[in-house]
Amino acid sequence: MPPPLLRHLLRTTPSLAPVPHRSVLSITGSQSTEFLNGLLSSSVRESPRSQFSSFLHAQGRVLYDIFLYATTNGHFLEFDSRTSEAPPLLSYLKRHVLRSKVKVRSVTEEYDVWAAWGSSEDHAWETNRRWNWARSGAIEPVWTGSTEWPWGAQDCVIRDRRAVGMGRRLLVKKGETPQDVATHDITTTEEYILHRILHGVPEGISDVPPMHAFPMDSNLDVMGGLDFRKGCYVGQELTVRTYHTGVIRKRIIPVTIYKPTPDQGIELLGSSLPNLDIKPLSANAERQGPRPRGSGKLLSNQKGVGLALLRLEHIAAVQNGDLKLELEVPDEKDLSTWSVSPWWPDWWPCEEPPAVAEK
């Protein structure tokens, strides 16, 4: 649940929306499970199961965050196919096939991707979550309350467990509408983007820049996309080392972008302007000292709310009243300054991580 100021933006009625910029690959063959398990950052079981996961670079940075749909004939793999610094996923996978009994082909022209949320069906399978904390600050969900696979077992449907309230992810034959159309309102792609921003869910190259983003900074651990105990996969060494001996210093969290109005109200930023720097400043104008180190980055944003990659120390300082965050937005004549207020989604793990012993 977002702060009271933003709750009017949240769609709570059953809704359907097309998900933009997504392509789909088909991965089949007797060795497809073993093939995927050696490349993805989460475990791919012998009995095919749907899940959220990612491909990592050899140096541990994210190439693609993906959804893997298990089917009776193999897997469908859904990803953001916009041009980026990452190698095209189809050619990347084909380079790794070698002599494996695996066939990879694009089926993007056959399927559309939709999101569904807000129905009683979507709330019925949500269960309470427990969390495992690492000394580094990495966080893993522990699924409790059901013996079912958390991501579901239905063909071409995934329970979107990246955050509580996200709903379901659907693969639908090209040109058709989902079966839920009789009970759900069909809304826009922009409403889906707003939905995931309000739930604190980064997605695709706008929020997880390929070849640059680290998986834990981008919350892939919290969203269930990393397995720190599986065997070797591309990017595993640095990821596991960070889990055991590193420190998570940044996270992507929702922010409100606003400025005061003359009548003591609040004006929310109306335009969408990603990839702007968020500057930390002392909240006390009279306080002398060096400017806080580092800056944040505004990612996806709409209607005055967005996702931002911020240093955890800056978030804590804002909450303590020691720091403020500002954003300079270009307008017709010059730059206008807007305040940025971070907030944690209500589903975010609230258990304190174990204390690190001082040396």
- pLDDT tens for 204-242 read 999 999 999 999 999 999 999 999 998 889 999 999 999
Tell me how many domains the chain contains.
2
**40 φ, ψ (degrees, to nearest 5):** -85, 155
The region of weakest confidence among 126-135, 285-294, 322-331 is 285-294
Structure tokens at 218: 């981008």
**313 φ, ψ (degrees, to nearest 5):** -65, -35
Residues 146 and 213 in one domain: yes
Q: Average per-residue pLDDT in the chain?
A: 90
Domain housing 258 = 250-342
Indicate the pLDDT class of residue 358, thresholds 50, 70 and 90.
Answer: very low
**Which residues, in sequence order, are CB contacts of 91 under 8 Å at separation 6+?**
none
SS3 185: strand
The region of weakest confidence among 16-25, 72-81, 262-271 is 262-271
pLDDT reported for residue 285 = 64
pLDDT, tens digit, for every residue of 290-306?
677 888 999 999 999 99
The total of other beta-carbon atoms located within 10 Å of residue 160's CB is 25
Question: What DSSP element (H or E) covers 19?
Answer: none
Residues 281 and 237 in one domain: no
Residues 175 and 282 in one domain: no
| Burial label, 71 (beta-carbon count in 10 A; 0-12, 13-18, 19+) | middle
pLDDT, tens digit, for every residue of 308-318?
999 999 999 99
pLDDT reported for residue 80 = 97
| Predicted model pTM | 0.92
Question: Is-contact 62 54, C-beta < 8 A?
Answer: yes
Question: Is-contact 270 281, C-beta < 8 A?
Answer: no
Nearest alpha carbon to residue 102 among 26, 6, 164, 9: 26
73 or 117, higher pLDDT: 117
End residue of a domain, out of 197, 213, 245: 245
SS3 284: coil
The answer to whether position 352 is within a domain reads: no
Question: Mean of the pLDDT values across residues 178-198?
Answer: 95
Say whether pLDDT at 356 is over 80. Answer: no
pLDDT reported for residue 148 = 83
Nearest alpha carbon to residue 213 among 68, 65, 312: 65
Residues 336 and 234 in one domain: no
Indicate the pLDDT class of residue 359, thresholds 50, 70 and 90.
Answer: very low
Question: Is-contact 211 86, C-beta < 8 A?
Answer: yes
18, β-bridge pairs:
114
**Which residues, in sequence order, are CB contacts of 128 under 8 Å at separation 6+?**
144, 145
Say whether pLDDT at 268 is over 80. Answer: yes
Residues 120 and 217 in one domain: yes
Q: What angle do CA 195, 196, 198 make, to 5 degrees?
A: 70
pLDDT, tens digit, for every residue of 123-174?
888 877 889 999 999 999 998 766 789 999 899 999 999 999 999 999 999 9
End residue of a domain, out of 245, 271, 291: 245
Structure tokens at 22: 């997504």
Residues 241 and 264 in one domain: no
User: Which CATH number goes with the domain that contains 146?
Assistant: 3.30.1360.120
Say whether pLDDT at 353 is over 50. Answer: no
Residues 270 and 306 in one domain: yes
DSSP 40: B
Question: Is-contact 267 338, C-beta < 8 A?
Answer: no
How far is the C-alpha of 200 from the C-alpha of 348, rounded, in Å? Answer: 9
Nearest alpha carbon to residue 15 among 171, 152, 189: 189
Residues 191 and 310 in one domain: no
Residues 230 and 318 in one domain: no
Strands 51-56, 62-71: pairing is antiparallel
How far is the C-alpha of 6 from the C-alpha of 41, rounded, in Å? Answer: 34
pLDDT reported for residue 351 = 60
The answer to whether position 353 is within a domain reads: no
In the chain, the DSSP E strands lie at: 15-18, 22-28, 51-56, 62-71, 74-80, 103-106, 111-117, 129-133, 139-143, 157-159, 168-173, 185-186, 250-260, 266-268, 277-282, 296-302, 305-311, 323-330, 335-342
Amino acid at 45: R
Q: What angle do CA 115, 195, 296 make, to 5 degrees?
A: 125
Nearest alpha carbon to residue 279 among 339, 215, 326: 326
pLDDT reported for residue 167 = 96
Residues 211 and 320 in one domain: no
The answer to whether position 351 is within a domain reads: no
Say whether pLDDT at 50 is over 70. Answer: yes
